[in-house]
Amino acid sequence: MILAVLGRRDSPTDAVEDYCRLLGEAFKDLGSDFGLMRVAWTERGWLRALSDLWKSSANLKGGWALVQYTALMWSRHGFPSRFWIVLCALRIRRARTAVVFHDCQPYAGKRFRDRVRRFFQRIVMRWAYWLSDATILTVPLHLVSWLPTECSKASFITVGANIPAVGLSRIADCSGRVAKTISVFAVTDVGDISREVWEISLTARKVAECLPQVRLVTVGRGSAESESKFREALKGSSVEFSALGVLPAQKVSQVLTDSDVSLCVRYPMTTSRGSAIASIANGVPLVAYTDPILPGPLADAGIVGVPYLDGEKLAEATIRVLTDPQLWQDLHERSRGAYERHFSWEAVASRFLEILHQV
């Protein structure tokens, strides 16, 4: 038996819940029992929520609890002290625990409060490592600063795509379409997004100078909130812009499949970025900010990496992908292959079971 344990629900979409649901379906296909339990401390208060967890885990002796971690899932302000209580309760129930770290690094920031929070989060994550039977990280281990030197209990498993893979094999000229579509799945929905909007808009404008018809489509979280900023940044250009907002997963897949290239510019791309991996799953060439060496399985995918915050190179790479049919086809085929080997939920679940069976 495998039970996924979550904390506070995120909104308007909850990527970690989607992760657990899709992983659970793959576990069931591979013959493992799976359940999902939420410690609803924001709705019921901590005492009632922990009581619910205690009752739900009564029959979990010897089974696995996959406890999901993001700092804000267990604290309103990123000080997740009660996360330890959750782990201890499961251990008392004699469940085997594996902590899945979706936030693999403490939060950034220069304020005194940020430094205190960062220090506190490091302590919580380090102790969670020692309390658990296994630790799963969604980025390669060498990128995680708080792990002990000897970290035999830690393993790396990339996330899978958080939407269905519906893209079929395609031909490089996108079936002869004249118009080219640039897609962005998920835009930052908090704080100052001016840099992100400017770099995406700059890329679309430069592509429109080289190609006759260009569409820019944003979809998912932050899409509707950023619409006015994008329209202002694209004013005076020939770019056709659409902000589609939050859509059902199947429709997001179709939006990506119908596009010719996807952009990932929020941060340097990592194996924990489900929104970018969604493009890989649907065979869409991806132009992204990356580190000089792509981490882990991303190196197999159809990604053109450019230096972080270099908007000019981002635009140049996007134009190259859209105007070179052979490059486009190569990237498309590489992403389809990488999805099957690394990013499909069957591949992710198989890796989980391999690790859990070794503990």
> Please, are residues 104 and 295 in contact by the beta-carbon 8 Å criterion?
no
The pLDDT, as a whole number, for residue 175 is 43
The C-alpha atoms of residue 200 and residue 209 are separated, in whole angstroms, by: 15
Contact present, 74 and 83 (Cβ < 8 Å)? yes
The pair of structure tokens assigned to 345 is 């939920």
User: How many Å apart are CA 140 and CA 304, to the nearest integer?
Assistant: 20
What are the structural domains, with CATH classification, of the chain? 2-160+344-358 (3.40.50.2000), 180-343 (3.40.50.2000)
Task: Give the tens place of pLDDT for each residue, 168-191.
Answer: 555 555 444 578 999 999 887 666
Q: How far apart are CA 68 and CA 97, in angstroms?
A: 10
- The whole-angstrom distance between residue 213's C-alpha and the CA centroid of its chain comes to 31
Q: What is the pTM of this model?
A: 0.87
pLDDT of residue 294: 85
The residues, any chain, with a CB within 8 Å of residue 316's CB and separated by 6 or more, are: 206, 306
Q: Which helix (H) or strand (E) holds 46?
A: helix 41-56
The full DSSP string for 122-190 is: HHHHHHHHHHSSEEEESS-GGG-TTS-SS-TTEEE-----SS---PPP--TTSTT-SSEEEEEE----S
Q: Characterise 30 by phi-psi region: left (phi > 0), alpha (psi -120 to 50), beta (else).
A: alpha
Q: Which stretches of the chain score pLDDT less than 70?
A: 167-177, 189-191
Contact 263, 200 (CB under 8 A): yes
Q: What is the per-residue pLDDT across 16-43, written as a single tens digit (0 to 9) for each?
A: 999 999 999 999 999 999 999 999 999 9
Give 186-215 pLDDT, tens digit per residue. 887 666 788 899 999 999 999 999 998 999
Half-sphere exposure of 143 (CA within 13 A, CB side): 20
